[in-house]
Structure 1
């Protein structure tokens, strides 16, 4: 498969990770917290820096967990792959989980 096609497949999996985030925390939290912080990161960081931001690495983590080990995100080095989608081997940090709880404490996290 050519590099462009692989990159597109990785991008689709990464973006699907954002869908999984919205399903996990709910649309209100997703757009109020993840969307805002991701947009801020994309506007102040280089593409490589933005790719390492928590909103992006968590999307990669969820996507890799969903698709399993034979997906594009896991196809190369997990921390420094060719297409700039780093995958951290950890779920959401306690600090970010607390932000979600504080934002809408009446809504359960999935």
Structure 2
């Protein structure tokens, strides 16, 4: 049960980090002359880093099997995000870009988990 709590906390912290970073990025877009062409790249970077942070947090506190728990946090993160997008969009279709994003975010969670379990 304790491991589940750490995984869910890592997932929650990754979403908090995502929301905070997206808010800062939105303010940056609003009050500067940066074009909106960077939105796709920035959102990919933000979700990737957030999943890595969630995997890092979970495996740092669990202290074992960092790759497995990091992959789990990353996969849960992107699946929950896809469910939110599915509910928000009127015409949702699974595309190859989404599969790449699932792979990228899951792997970044795994990398964060490996780093977290080895962090002293």
- Bin of the TM-score, shorter chain as denominator length: 0.3 to 0.5
**TM norm structure 2:** 0.33
Between Structure 1 and Structure 2, whose CA radius of gyration is higher? Answer: 2
Which structure has the highest helix share of the two? Answer: 2
**TM norm structure 1:** 0.36
